[in-house]
Amino acid sequence: MARGVLYPFLVKNPRELLAAGFGGAVGTGLDVGCLVLLVKNGTSVPVATFLAALAGAATNFVLNKYVAFKDTSPINLRQLARFGFVAVAAALLMSVAMKLVAVKLGVPVVLAKLACAAVVFAIWTYPAQRRLVFSRPVAA
């Protein structure tokens, strides 16, 4: 069913996309919890968003490495650095998006977070993780 719903020219592996989405949802749940606690305790929305996104990234890494992308190779510094780059870029994108959506437009923080997370996942996080972090070597 997923193959019929998702465009084959955009998504080569629907299982991988759905599993990465699940990992992202779990990471986002942790992220939102941290965001709410930080904002409630006086941290500015952009800073809280950045810190919370990094907190959710650790969970996301483990779930994506072993579940979504089925990467059984040992964790190495190069992969962590690439994931760190993707996570920091995503956190920065989320901070900018949250500044616009939550602060400027006045959308409630949690609703803004969920909307922004979905957009950043689609345009940056999933494609970058698939191509940069968990790419498989091409067989010769």
* Residue 128: alpha-carbon gap to chain centroid: 10
Percent of the chain residues past pLDDT 70, beyond the cut: 89
Kindly report whether the global pTM for this prediction surpasses the value 0.75: no
Helical pair 14-40 and 109-120, crossing angle rounded to 10 deg: 150
Q: CB–CB of 6/15 below 8 Å? A: no
Place of tokens 């990467």: 71
pLDDT category of residue 113 using cuts at 50, 70 and 90: confident
- Name the residue ranges covered by the structural domains of the chain: 13-133
Over residues 23-66, the pLDDT tens digits come to: 988 988 998 899 899 999 999 988 998 888 788 888 889 999 99
Structural tokens at position 130: 């698939």
Give the model confidence (pLDDT) of 63-90 as tens digits. 999 999 999 999 999 999 999 999 889 9
